Chain A
Amino acid sequence: MTEKRKTAEDMAKEQRAISVAEFFEKNRHLLGFDNPSKALLTVVKEAVDNSLDACEEASILPDIKVDMKQLEENRYQITIEDNGPGIMREQIPRIFAKLLYGSKFHRLRQSRGQQGIGISASVLYGQLTTGHPAIIHSKPHEKGKTHVFHLKVDTSTNEPEIIKEDLINDGMEHTGTKITITLEGKYIQRYHSAEEYLKQTAIVNPWAHITYKSPDGEKVDFPRVVNKLSEPSKEIKPHPYGVELGILIRMLKNTKARNLSAFLQNEFCRVGATSSEEICRLAGLKADDKPKDIEQKGQENLLKAMQRVKLMRPPTDCLSPIGDKILEQGLAKEINAEFIVTITREPSVYRGIPFQVEAGIAYGGELKEKVEGSEEDEESEESSDQVKLMRFANKIPLLYEPSGCAITKAVSSIKWRRYGLEHSAGNLPKGPAVIVVHIASAWVPYSSESKEAIANYPEIMKEIRLVVQECARKMLMHIRKQTKAKRETERLNVFENYLPLILESAKELAGVKEKIDIKPIIDKVIKKDLIDYGKKGD
């Protein structure tokens, strides 16, 4: 009671903008900088994702070089260089040294990055852990010069701080961007490594040529096997099936359309004159009702009607799937398997947002050797004989949080024994296989801000199951064909193995030393056996 009650004025004195440094400290786990080993991966990931996006938007076949050097025990320097369109001088400081600046946040279109936070967070992380600025090279014109910036983030204002700027002639013949970040980190190999990230990236972006130099000096080349970029995606309007009431109300308020019919046709995709009429009729509204005047009851009816009317699926050109053929090529170049199947589903919709699922299974070949050979990923949670599941969202590999992800759950929920793999319920199946699942969407529903796992929307789960099951069916056919062929050779081998032994023992028994040829009998037996075997119709 004696304590003085605070006034709004008192409180206002305490209220202030928090610095980005503080924001970063509190949110580093969301940004991918929870620990030193993940930091290295995150920097590579953010820069490579940006490079791939930029190249694709500029219709350039990407050529990306990643170079990771160890400077001191816990200090690394990472350089990522691309042949993308480069960045105009004026944009460079803000893109790299201002958090939450970007072009991708505001649009409904598929791209790798979404929030305009990753690369500048990487710059900030390097700066906070080592004091070094990031060095950016950018060459936006083939014949022009290269801008060189040394940049830091001003941690109190979230504005770029230009430490140094240069314009140089580096003699490079193409446009492009190069970023060098010095940071604290810890280099690890295997599952959560930069190399694994790049390998998986290479699988789903086979039109990209990526080279990687590890801190050990090892050079890895991920070649380009497709000489055509995937079709660039377009922006789209929402589809009526997935709109929520709140969004619909906001759209009704903000629309420029004068009447309901125009509103439906202009603001949504796949709604034409006929379907808009149908929606109005089902909702008990008139086509010329003013959108702004529709009352709450009408709004609800409208939403129900929108979801009942028969409509085409949303257009797919806002999506940029990898494509089954290309995914197959990507898998084939990185995994030496005996059998590969890939399938791209038709697009579907969750909450009015189109998405599309693709999957692939690589089976056997070098994967068989791995299963038999080694205790591979001691660091990863999975046991080594489980299949390797590679998860992708908009062509980005997801390496963390596998267990919470819709992809893992959907794949684990399939009855794998039907498809010829060992399986205990609720887990990933076991066997010499890699399963790849890619979800392309204008807005990927991540289950957390760290963007490592897909949320469990039933529509998404269902699509994943369907496409993976379809792949699994094809794999099963392969396994069956293979075991049948194997059994057949085994049968023939039995005769080839034992008939000479029969002859040998018979000679011993008879006490005979002469040479007797068993080959004609073997041929005879095998021929006959094949006929008998065929008759049984095994």
Chain B
Amino acid sequence: MAKKEIEIKKQLEDIGNKILKDVKENRVPYLKVPARTTNNIVFDPKTLCYILGDKTLTRSAGNIRHVKPLAQMLKIGAFCKELVSEGTKHETKRGLYYISESWGEKLKFDEQQESDNLIEDIEAIIEKPREDIHIIPNPGGSVYGDLTLKFKNPAGKDMQINCLQTADGQTIGPRMCEAEIVKCNANKIIAIETAGMYNRLMEENAHKKFNAILVSLEGQATRATRRLIKRISEIKNIPTYIFTDGDPWGLHIAMVIMAGSAKSAHVNRMLATPSATWIGVTASDIKKYKLRSDKLREVDFTRIKELKKDPRYKQDKRLQEELKLWEDIKKKAEQQALLKYGLRYVVDDYLPAKFKELGANVK
């Protein structure tokens, strides 16, 4: 068993031992769980992340409202310990909800919301994302470039893959996101919002041209993708650039990669890549490149107002200015609007110009 897994197992055992100790010492057993309530979600200006504050909740077996969820949480813990010990097996949140059916009338969940909530409690207690206890997110997104990863295949066998040796890029699933980084000579990661632009960059040899790892986000990035970006970026100490559509929604996709979401405040430290930078398409780009654009709608304006007030944006002058500019020009553009200048334009002109503008190495 890997060192990481031994550590996780130990953490889970500690939870069980704490309860047993209470019982043996004739105390009503309880657990302290970091509070995930809004009043305990705080903004950390250092990392620009939302993280949990110091408040904890006590889940006591002597409380009529706690006793059932506490029993269920321990049962989930016991189940996950099995998964971790087994090594190769993973389950999704939805799957766990259905598995609870086999735990009997008393422990089974009536709604997936209930089991999801307890999984997040366990994440908060052990301060690890649920992937570590083998409750995996849905795959989504893929990675392409000269990156060699080592992982255990579903049969439990050690395997290596180079992401260039794939047809469409390597899908980022539970095994990929935790895989050991064997080789990575790139000096940057470029994360791309749309699959269409990702394909363009692959075909235009952008990974070679910019010495980059290409990551397809396919909209809002999955936890697995965010986790992989963070790991490569931090382990290899290389910067991440995020290339999105030119609207407040695209900007926020970048922001979640950089700073995490409020909802995942308890695991943001394991998922967020604070050093990442948003490339664009910016509001200024829409003007500068005279991109084909649509009018901003009411929801877009509302979103801009929200973002302007968001602490994650407040300190960043550049982002504040871009938000303001959107309000002025009242326009948004997709990243593929750049194709009006030809297939190669993004790679030959737009991105090199942006990297220079951001003070990054092009090559």
Contact = CB atoms under 8 A, between A and B. Distances in A.
A505 B16 contact: yes
Contact of A506 (B28, B29, B67, B107): B29
A538 to B, nearest CB: 12
Given A491-B64, A499-B61, A528-B62, A506 B106 contact: no
Contacts of B62: 495, 524-525, 528-529
Nearest to A509: B16
A502 B16 contact: no
B13 A521 contact: no
Contacts of A502: 19, 29, 61, 67, 70-71, 74
Given A512-B20, A516-B23, A525-B62, A505 B29 contact: no
Given A501-B106, A521-B28, A508 B16 contact: yes
B26 A506 contact: no
B189 interface: no
B101 to A, nearest CB: 16
A525 B13 contact: no
A267 B12 CA distance: 96
A498 B78 contact: no
Instruction: Pick from B26, B28, B71, B106 the residue with the most CB of A within 10 Å.
Output: B71
Contacts of B24: 516
Given A525-B28, A525-B62, A506 B68 contact: no
B20 A494 contact: no
Contacts of A503: 19-20, 23
Interface in A179-229: none
Nearest to A517: B23
B196 to A, nearest CB: 47
B67 A509 contact: no
Nearest to A529: B64
A520 interface: yes
A509 B13 contact: yes
A172 B183 CA distance: 115
B26 A524 contact: yes
A516 B61 contact: no
A529 B62 CA distance: 7
A419 B19 CA distance: 46
Contacts of B81: 508-509
A51 B287 CA distance: 107
A501 B16 contact: no
Mostly, the A contact residues are helix
A511 interface: yes
Interface in B57-88: 61-62, 64, 67-68, 70-71, 74-75, 77-78, 81
A528 B16 CA distance: 24
Contacts of A497: 106
A163 interface: no
Nearest to A497: B106
A488 to B, nearest CB: 11
A516 B29 CA distance: 13
A511 B85 CA distance: 12
Contacts of B23: 503, 506, 516, 518, 521
A374 to B, nearest CB: 26
A511 B81 CA distance: 10
B211 to A, nearest CB: 47
Contacts of A494: 64, 67-68
A484 interface: no
Contact of A509 (B26, B68, B74, B106): B74
Interface residues of B, number: 26
A510 B16 contact: yes
A292 B12 CA distance: 106
B8 interface: no
Interface residues of A, number: 25
A29 interface: no
A498 B12 CA distance: 20
A358 to B, nearest CB: 44
Contacts of B29: 502, 506, 521
B15 interface: yes
Nearest to A505: B74
Interface string B22-65: 01101011000000000000000000000000000000011010
B361 interface: no
Contacts of B185: none
Contacts of A501: 71, 74-75, 106-107
B293 interface: no
A507 interface: yes
A499 B67 contact: yes
A515 to B, nearest CB: 11
Instruction: Pick from B17, B61, B68 the residue with the most CB of A within 10 Å.
Output: B61
Given A494-B68, A499-B67, A505-B77, A524 B107 contact: no
B44 to A, nearest CB: 31
A529 B28 CA distance: 12
Contacts of A491: 64
Interface in A315-366: none
Given A502-B70, A518-B23, A508 B64 contact: no
Contacts of A511: 13, 16
A233 to B, nearest CB: 58
Contacts of B61: 495, 498-499, 502, 521, 525
Contacts of A506: 15-17, 19-20, 23, 29, 74
Contacts of B68: 494, 498
Given A518-B23, A521-B61, A529-B62, A508 B67 contact: no
A216 B208 CA distance: 97
A502 B107 CA distance: 10
A215 B24 CA distance: 71
B226 to A, nearest CB: 29
A507 B23 CA distance: 11
Contacts of B107: 501
A521 B26 contact: yes
Interface in A464-494: 491, 494
A505 B13 contact: no
B71 A524 contact: no
Contact of B78 (A499, A505, A529): A505
A374 B20 CA distance: 49
A484 to B, nearest CB: 15
Nearest to A526: B62
B185 to A, nearest CB: 43
Contacts of B17: 506, 509-510, 512
Contacts of A505: 16, 71, 74-75, 77-78
A509 B71 contact: no
Nearest to B107: A501
Given A503-B19, A508-B16, A524-B62, 16 more contacts: A494-B64, A494-B68, A495-B64, A498-B106, A502-B67, A505-B16, A505-B74, A505-B75, A505-B77, A509-B12, A509-B16, A509-B17, A511-B16, A521-B26, A521-B28, A528-B62
Interface of B: 12-13, 15-17, 19-20, 23-24, 26, 28-29, 61-62, 64, 67-68, 70-71, 74-75, 77-78, 81, 106-107
7 contacts: A502-B70, A506-B19, A510-B16, A516-B24, A518-B23, A524-B62, A525-B61
Interface of A: 491, 494-495, 497-499, 501-503, 505-512, 516, 518, 520-521, 524-525, 528-529
